[in-house]
Every structure is written in C-alpha cells, then in structure tokens.
Amino acid sequence: MIEARAIEVAIIGGGITGLTLALGLQKRNTNFHIYERAQSLREIGAGIGFTPNAERAMLALDPRIHEAFKSVASKNASDWFQWVDGFSGVNNDKDTVKEDLLFNMYLGERGFEGCHRAQFLKELVNHLPQGCVTFGACLDTIIDQGENERILLKFHNGTIAEADLVIGCDGIRSRVRQLILGENNPASYPAYTHKKAYRGLIPMEKALPALGESKVNTRLMHLGPDAHTLTFPVAGGKLMNVVAFVTDPGEWPYTEKLSAPAEKKSAIEGFSKFGGAVRTIMNLLPEDLDEWAIFDTYDHPASTYYHGRICIAGDAAHASSPHHGAGAGAGIEDVTVLATVIEVAQTTLLESPDKSRSGVLNAALATYNAVRLERSQWLVESSRILGEIYEWQYKPTGRDKKKCEEEVYWRSHKIWDYDIGQMLQETTEYYKQRVGA
C-alpha cells in the first residue's frame, strides 16, 4: 500500500502571479515554496489597475488578496472610464487642457481602480508565512525523475530543490517557458511590439492646478496618432499615474533589459503635436523617467502551457501588451484555476494514494491548460489591437469614434464580464472527466 502524501508545489518567481498563487495555495492547505532570483520581493514604483473580473478572481482565490488590493486602491471619482481626443484638444488651443470626449463606458460597482504596485505587493507579502521564499534562486533547469518521483530543480547558484509540481510564474522572459516549449522554439521568446511607454507618477498638488479636478481623479485614455496616454489616480489620490505610449518603428536596442532610463524631453517631443492636456501632462513628468519596451507573445504564442507536471502562468504563459490593463488580472485568473485544481488533485491523492501520482498531477495541469489557453491568448491579441485603435492605426476603425467605441466596448466587456464562477465549475468538471478517464 502506498503512503498518502501531500503535494509540494514549487513556484518559480515572486511577482504578482507567484505571490497570489502562494496565498491561494496556503488558503487551500497546500504546501508551496517560492524560488525568486532577486534578493527581495519588490515591484516598480508605478501604478497598476485591476479590471472587475480580476477583482472577482481575487475574491475566489483568497479574499485576503482582494482586501490587500482594496486597502491600497484609489477610487475613481467617476463611474465612467473616458476615452478622449488627446490630439486635437479643443481646437488644439495651446492654452486649454480641455479635450473632446470620444466615448465613455460605465464601470459599475467594481470600477477598474488603480493602486501603487509596490504598496499592493507589500500588502500581499504581509500575509505570506515566514521562510516560504528562497531568494537568489535563479532557475536553470528542471529534471523530471519519472513516475511518482519528485521533480528536481537546479538553480544557477548550484543549489537544488525538489517538488511534485513546478509552476513557472517567472515573467515575460520565463525560463520555465523555454524548458516546456524548447530553447529553439520562437514561441519561447517574446517580441518587441514596436511600442514603448514612458511611465511616471505626478504629485497631485502639481497635477490638480494644471489639469483640473475632472482630469486627475479618474481613469482617462487620451487618444492620438501613433501615440496615446493613460492617466489614473493612485496612492489614495496623492499621485497621478501616467503611462505614455509611443510607436517606435526601430528595434529595442537592449538584449538583456526591457526598461532603460529616458530623458523627459523624449516624452515631451513624442507628444509635441498633441493637445494642451497631454502636453501639460508630459511637462509635469519627473525628470528621472524610465522607458519600457512593450514586448508580447502575439507573434509566436505558446501551443501549450504545460508539460507533464510543469506549467507556466501569468506573463510566463501569455505576456501581453498592457493596452487592456488586464495582464496581471489574467495571471490572477490563471492561478485561481491552478489553486482550485491543485486542491482537488490533492484530495484525490490523499483519498486514493494508490492512484498514479504523476497521472493525477498531469490531469490537473491538463485541466488548467484547457480552461486558460484560449482566453489568455485572445487577451494578447486583443491588447495589440487595442493599442492600434488608441493610436488610430487600426484600419477597420481608423479615427472614426463610433467604430472605435464599438470595438473597444465588446473587447473590454469580454474581459470585464467574465464569469469566474463558471470558469471554476468548468475546471472541476474537466478535471473529473480526466481523472475518471
């Protein structure tokens, strides 16, 4: 008789995906350990917004995650997300910050609130049990030692670890993705979307007098040709978050990094032909800016998110451009499915220890793959299209505001209205079919 044994999950990477997975597993009494290549858990000093579906996924995964977000989220003053003509201004008058409203969408009760990334991460970390993260652990390779044996993890510093399941939450340049799909497979690597973004936070005491109340305290997308800007309040309304995207026909010059210091004058130049509001925003940006290359996995999507007992989640699986503001939210949807199916698989193994351990865990990951692949890859594609719509480059919509509205409406609602309960029901049903079979 085989002895019943709980599952040990190795999480590679401690970003939003890895940490929310850890909390979801902890809530379901599943053992996990996080391996993080950095020396601490940290996030960049920028804003992030969560769509309504992401909030519902947080609640389903672990209400503590939702509480953590709400404790640092800034409410939008308006229940309407507004898309404005950032280019023309009103008659392109240099002295006015008024912009024509192109269209708006009702956000409802859970209304796409923003927060400061580092503040959210800190709240998540507060809930983690002591000693659950090994720092300086940069994954090199994974060895599957065979049926019912543990998987071996090897790190660049020469250390090794073992686990029953490995979940790569190691971001856009995921090593686990390379190991699953193959190092020579183009689908193992993200590609430059030929857009880059200047990101900055403007203190509200500067933004408010320059732009006025209605521009600084709610979510606004400023559209224009070959560039666009998103603004929303963060840090309890003390800061205005700015993400200013420009199309870049050239190549990203760095191979090792996706962000680099940038001069404020580049952002000012990039929007010099825009209306008064957008030009004012660029002038208010801090001097020490970073520019971020927008890479995604659209050109060569992954054909699968798992192999055996190893899988990828979050950006590691489906790195998306950020134009839907839904990449991290999609990672939280992923790990909600993973935590749910791992809990069920653990119950199977504890109740029926003579079942094939590898077979049960493989069925759990096959379930995750079946439930998540299509929707998350659609997000990658749709985010690309949205970026083009916002910069009047998408041929079917051009500069026609009615057509832009229709396109943005159905795409956004496909994300926002997603039924998380139904997703989890499908998860358990699919798993039962697999294990029964």
Ligand X SMILES: Cc1cc2nc3c(=O)[nH]c(=O)nc-3n(C[C@H](O)[C@H](O)[C@H](O)COP(=O)(O)OP(=O)(O)OC[C@H]3O[C@@H](n4cnc5c(N)ncnc54)[C@H](O)[C@@H]3O)c2cc1C
What residues act catalytically?
199
- Taking the complex as a whole, the smallest distance from the CB of residue 21 to ligand X amounts, in Å, to 9
d(CA 2, CA 10): 23
Nearer of residues 30 and 383 to ligand X, judged by Cβ? 383
d(CA 249, CA 140): 34
Among 7, 9, 10, 12, binds ligand X (CB under 6 A): 12
Among 325, 336, 369, 392, binds ligand X (CB under 6 A): 325
What letter represents residue 161's amino acid?
Answer: A
Phi-psi region of 236 (alpha: psi -120 to 50; beta: other; left: phi over 0): left
- Taking the complex as a whole, the smallest distance from the CB of residue 178 to ligand X amounts, in Å, to 9
Q: Which residue(s) pair with 289 in the sheet?
A: 262
d(CA 200, CA 295): 19
Structure tokens at 366: 């096959």
Instruction: Map tokens 């609640």 to a residue.
Output: 59
Q: Rg for the chain (alpha carbons), in Å?
A: 22
- Taking the complex as a whole, the smallest distance from the CB of residue 339 to ligand X amounts, in Å, to 15
Structure tokens at 150: 């543990």
- Taking the complex as a whole, the smallest distance from the CB of residue 363 to ligand X amounts, in Å, to 24
Report the SS3 class of residue 307: strand
d(CA 196, CA 288): 16
Helix (H) or strand (E) holding 418: none
- Contact between 16 and ligand X per CB under 6 A: yes
- Contact between 229 and ligand X per CB under 6 A: no
Residues 17-76 that bind ligand X (CB under 6 A): 17-18, 35-38, 48-50
Instruction: Map tokens 């403007």 to a residue.
Output: 202
- Taking the complex as a whole, the smallest distance from the CB of residue 88 to ligand X amounts, in Å, to 25
Question: Which span (82-90, 100-108, 168-176, 381-389) binds ligand X, by CB under 6 A?
Answer: 168-176
- Contact between 328 and ligand X per CB under 6 A: yes
Among 11, 14, 22, 387, binds ligand X (CB under 6 A): 14
- Contact between 86 and ligand X per CB under 6 A: no
Among 86, 111, 200, 329, binds ligand X (CB under 6 A): 329
Q: CB within 8 A of 184, min separation 6: which ones?
A: none
Nearer of residues 52 and 276 to ligand X, judged by Cβ? 52
- Contact between 276 and ligand X per CB under 6 A: no
d(CA 344, CA 361): 10
- Contact between 327 and ligand X per CB under 6 A: yes
- Which residue, judged by CB position, is nearest to ligand X in the bound state? 15
Number of residues that bind ligand X (CB under 6 A): 36
The vertex-228 CA angle with 224 and 232, nearest 5°, equals: 130
Question: Which span (1-9, 188-196, 275-283, 323-331) binds ligand X, by CB under 6 A?
Answer: 323-331
- Contact between 318 and ligand X per CB under 6 A: no
Nearer of residues 211 and 317 to ligand X, judged by Cβ? 317
d(CA 9, CA 313): 14
Nearer of residues 139 and 349 to ligand X, judged by Cβ? 139
d(CA 122, CA 68): 9
Residues that bind ligand X (CB under 6 A): 12-18, 35-38, 48-50, 137-139, 169-172, 175, 197, 199, 243, 292, 314-316, 322, 325-329, 331
